[in-house]
Amino acid sequence: MDVPADKPAAAVPAAKTKAPAISYISWTTLALMTTASVASLRPAPSMAIYGLAAIFLYLLPAIVFLVPTSLVSAELASGWNGGVYKWVSEGISAPMGFLAVWCQFAMTIFYYPSLLGYVASTLAYVFNPALASSGLWTAAVIMVCFWAGVYISSQGTKSVAGLSSMGLIIGTLVPGALLVILGMVFLGEGNPSAAPMTTSNLLPVWAGISSLVLIVNNFLSYSGMEMNAVHVSSLRKPPKEFPKAMFLAMGLVLLIFILPALAIAWVVPADQIGLTSGVMQAFDAVFSEFSLNWMTPIIGIMLVVASLAGMLTWLAGPSKGLLLVSRQYGYLPPFLQKLNKHGVQQNILVAQGAVTTVIALLYAFIPDVSSAYWILSVITTQVYLVVYLLMFIAAVKLRRNQPNHPRGFKTPALLLVCVVGWLASLAAMIIGFVPSSQFGGSSTLTYVLIVGSGLVIVGLLIPFLFYRFRKPSWKTADPATTAAID
């Protein structure tokens, strides 16, 4: 916001004027923060199906998507406060800015059911592994865990914010390292790998475009880098240190993604890997080999705790951004803007919970739990990719229209980087409409209709209706809210 010219800094005695101290962080710290927010064992089963080719399928989206989103979001975050709404609204238009912040929120509608579907399958190994394929069990766990999370978040609990780093250690680094080490010992004892590990298997077998569809899931695995770009101003030398932080984070993320996927491929045959239960299948098989079956429930609990901690950490984040924008510009009805006594957007969370409950019931009626999990993951990716398509366009237009606007970091070869990232995002969205070869027996038309309907209705139609029928009375922002946006 502009400062009035009639209020110069000299109005305050120079002796008492003291610039606020800047709390710098090292580029390695930023790399670890980024790793903690992006890396997870959850997508490992979907790539383990491809065996050694998982390396290629992780590297490709890292080069054409992870790097562009990291660099571009760093430039935007270092020049404009307010997140994707501010970037896109200034670069393109206010309606597109609302679409971007809506899609950033709406993707969670499908993300949490898929995340909690993984939790349900993992938790099944603590009680009864047979439950991992039960739709009723999965639906029940999704609803109980999500509504418990809504209640905790509505209480304004501050301690959940610190759970993400603990979740990285408890539910990702320790189990991941254990899985890889035991998998290597498994091979070292002379056991054959379930998936061939020869150079001829470095590339996936081409069986039509459907054989590469699972790569779409990796775009979602790498998403969220724009959330960490806000820390670019905390580096001492952003132009040099931010790229180093991002490349280190990319290396760590790739190790966390690739090695556990390979470990699963070593132990579990591809045709037996479940997309939601593959991690626990691998642990169960490895522990059985070493007579450590008693550790399976422990690992299951560790993975569940980490996933639930991540859910609580992010549950109110996207909805908070949508709330702030809506209160200032009147994009949502007052009912959805109301805060409870703890200052939490409880009505948005409850509305989201109602939709999540309906989606959870799909698990009870779709025979193959893995199919439901994959479809929800694809819809999540499709909706979130809209944010990146808009972000890349906004970055190019802002560089062209506001070249002298202060930026703490400038992306080298911005146009090329944005073109590569935009085309990769578009390609991922198109490929997402092709059913995976793993579900070749399913109806292609049904699959396309489900995914397309999810994208159009949730990602485009609903925000259009909110924007089209908004009223001046919906603007309920106070000065604090306005300051937070500007």
pLDDT in tens, the chain (486 residues): 343 444 344 444 444 444 445 567 788 877 877 777 677 787 787 788 788 888 888 888 888 888 898 889 888 888 887 778 889 999 999 889 999 989 988 887 777 887 888 888 888 888 888 887 787 888 899 899 888 888 877 766 454 445 555 766 787 888 889 889 988 988 888 888 888 887 777 777 665 565 556 566 677 678 777 766 666 767 788 777 877 887 888 888 888 889 998 988 888 887 777 666 667 877 887 788 788 888 888 988 888 887 887 777 667 567 777 887 888 888 888 888 887 777 777 788 888 888 888 878 877 776 665 566 667 777 888 888 999 999 999 999 999 999 999 887 889 999 999 999 999 999 888 888 877 655 555 677 888 888 888 889 888 898 999 888 888 888 876 544 444 444
Q: Compute the C-alpha angle 232/238/243, nearest 5°.
A: 90
Provide the token pair at 47.
Answer: 């790539």
How far does the chain reach from its first CA to its final CA, in angstroms?
6
**What is the distance between the alpha carbons of residues 265 and 166, in angstroms, rounded to a whole number?**
27
Residue-by-residue DSSP string for 255-266:
HHHHHHHHHHHH
Q: What is the DSSP string of 216-254?
A: HHHHHHHTTHHHHGGGGGGSSSHHHHHHHHHHHHHHHHH
Q: How remote is the C-alpha of 83 from its chain's centroid?
A: 16
* Beta carbons of 55 and 269 less than 8 angstroms apart: no
Query: Rounded to whole angstroms, how far apart are CA atoms 258 and 76?
Result: 30
C-alpha dihedral over 208, 209, 214, 217, to 10 degrees? 180
User: Which of 225, 227, 246, 240 shows the shortest CA–CA distance to 409?
Assistant: 240
The CA-atom distances, in angstroms, between 39 and each of 184, 192, 329 are 21, 29, 35
Residue type at 433? F
Cα–Cα distance for residue pair 197/260, rounded to 1 Å: 15
Report the distance separating Cα 122 and Cα 119, nearest Å.
5
DSSP string, 375-437: HHHHHHHHHHHHHHHHHHHHHHHHHHH-TTS--S---TTHHHHHHHHHHHHHHHHHHTTSPPG
User: Is 0.85 topped by the overall pTM?
Assistant: no
